[in-house]
Structure 1
Amino acid sequence: MRLIGLFAAAMVMAVPASAQSVRAGIDAWGAGKPEQAVAIWRPLAARGSADAAYNLGQAYKLGRGVPADLAAAQRFYEQAAKAGHLEAQTSLGLLLFQNNNRTAALRWLKQASDAGEPRAMLVYGTALFNGDGVPEDRVRAYALVSRSAAQGLAPARTTLGEMDQIIPLAERQKGVALAQQLASAPASSAAKPVKSSPVKTASVPTTPRPATPPPAAGAFRIQLGAFRDTASAQRLFASLENRLNGARMTLVPSGTMTRLQVGPYPTRAAAAAACAALKPQACFPVAAN
């Protein structure tokens, strides 16, 4: 970790010493002062705070308070992940997956999945179902996706419905029994959240919360890509879901491909604005069928 420059140190000194905490950075972030938040978190991360390192990873991924830099985001995610930060383990796994480093991605996603992180359970469970980078195990896949769906993750509920159409009842019953067993098992010491501050309160919001709920109906969606298998589409949606303000996933068959669309939006302009908020993710508005 590089030493903090004089300019960054001056920024930190501008905040009272008693306020130099992860929580103070979260408050600054929420107040629309991401540069101040980053200045607070940086020395804390240098001193080993996993929560601060995770939040810096979020800042670099989003390009808020610092220039967008996925390599820097990965470094900070990895620092927090190695300290047992579950959200960092999942975010690191998803980022590595997007960079086609599946071996490392699945290692981190499995670790977070073993500790019950819902996004990790969905992605790792889908990989187990498809035998994608790991040996196929549909019973465990069903167990993990069931647990993820039970925690309210919408893409997990969609995936579970698809599994219900494919996996025989006897295997699904085994999956439910395994899910109950996993839910009651104590987490391993390596997978426990760090104790320096609560992980949940250390999470950086990816986008401001909307002042009003998203529209319930609309004539437009945004298309995020076309995939040869639905699992890839679902993984992308899971990685972007917390930036979509409640918009729903729609998988549209198109020949041998599956189009990932999200919405609805009332106008093409609203859909275009939603795309702009997802940059650098490729995206364009389409008419809802």
Structure 2
Amino acid sequence: MRRILLVTAALVAAGPLHAQSVRAGIEAWSANQPEKAVAIWRPLAAKGQADAAFNLGQAYKLGRGVPADLAEAQRFYEQAARAGHLEAQTSLGLLLFQNGNRTAALRWLKQAAESGEPRAMLVYGTALFNGDGVTEDRIRAYALVSRSAAQGLAPAKTTLGEMDQLIPLEERRKGVALAQELVSSGARTAAAATPPPVKVPAAAAPKVAAPKAAAPAAVSGPGAYRVQLGAFRDSASAQRLFASLAPRLKGARMTLVPSGTMTRLQAGPYPSRAAASAACSALKPQPCFPVPAR
């Protein structure tokens, strides 16, 4: 019995010491000593510590404490991702997406999205909405982006606003119901999960750029905005709607924007969001909302 107690005590002691080592790296990172942080995390990552591997991926992605090296960032992200690290799965998926490897990217993003990681839910939900590399599923797309927005991710709130204009009410209701179901399922899973891992402070993490549906930052100047009038499965339908609205658009030009399997109908340009909003008001009851010109 005594030997068992001693072994158990040793295991309990080992856990906090391991975590404290990762925290020591975070403290060095926060104190603007990234080289020291990297030196602390590297041997831990070599022993399979997922948080340390993820943090090294961040360091290589950002070029802090080491020269920027996306190949090394990907290697460490993948090590942590394979160990179940949600942020690593998302960061790996985003990096692969940016490198054009959409198949592998979406596989990792789907895995992280199903576990409730907000960035992954936004990007994978956008892909589902657009049918971009995956089978189009607007109800699940709405559910995932709704969950991401509910967690406070600003681009998700913008994307959800776009979806509200493009998805019929009944489909949105189904999406909300599915989101609630996913939340309940996630809560049951979380109850049995281990405590969250130690991470690099959020300010050090690379920014997320969601593909396609996430709206870009607002711009100003002549022609900065258009109005979006709908999304169609074929451009002919979009052109017919534009022709019917043209007399009330007062010289605005038609723009067709491909979006996965859909074509978005936009008109403009307008010099400001206010001018675009005024144009929408003149088109009521036609669904219409301002969008930044791309």
TM range (shorter): 0.5 to 0.7
Q: CA RMSD in A?
A: 3.1
Measure, in 2, the Cα distance between the counterparts of 1:165 and 1:148.
18
Computing the radius of gyration over CA atoms, which structure comes out larger, 1 or 2?
2
Alignment of 1:247-286 (within 5 A): 249-250=217-218
Normalising by structure 1, what TM-score? 0.65
User: How many corresponding residue pairs?
Assistant: 207
| 1:25 match: secondary structure | helix
Cα pair distance change 1:115/1:193, threshold 3 Å = farther
**CA distance in structure 2 between the aligned counterparts of 1:49 and 1:80, rounded to whole angstroms:** 8
Q: Distance in 2 between matches of 1:105 and 1:31?
A: 33
- Percentage of pairs with the same residue: 71
Measure the CA separation in 1 of the matches of 2:38 and 2:98. 25
Cα contact 1:130–1:136 (8 A) shared by 2: yes
Letter in 1 for 2:138: R
| Matched AA of 2:99 | N
Q: Distance in 1 between matches of 2:192 and 2:82?
A: 11
Q: Shift in Å at residue 202 of structure 1?
A: 1.5
CA contact (8 A) 2:126 2:213 kept: no
Report if the CA contact (8 A) 2:55-2:200 is conserved.
Answer: yes
CA distance in 2 between partners of 1:126 and 1:147 (Å): 13
Structure 2 residue aligned with 1:234: 214
1:148 maps to which residue?
148
Runs of 4+ in structure 1 displaced over 2 angstroms? 17-20, 186-189, 191-195, 203-208, 230-235, 249-258
- The answer for the alignment partner of 1:89 in structure 2 is 89
Contact preservation (8 Å) 1:29, 1:36 = yes
Paired position in structure 1 for 2:23: 23
The runs of 5 or more residues in structure 1 that have no matched partner are 1-16, 209-224, 238-248, 259-289
- 1:193-208 matched pairs, under 5 angstroms: 198-199=196-197, 201-207=198-204
Q: TM (normalized to structure 2)?
A: 0.64
Task: Using the TM superposition, give the Cα deviation of residue 257 of structure 1 relative to its aligned residue in structure 2, in angstroms.
Answer: 6.9
Residues 68, 193 of structure 1: alpha-carbon distance in 2 compared, 3 angstrom cutoff: farther
1:24-173 equivalence runs, <5 A: 24-173=24-173
**Residue identity in the other structure for 2:69:** D
Letter in 1 for 2:47: R
Q: Could you tell me how far 1:198 is from its partner in structure 2?
A: 3.3
Distance 1:82 1:169 in 2: 39
Letter in 2 for 1:54: F
Alpha-carbon distance in structure 2 between the residues aligned to 1:55 and 1:194: 21
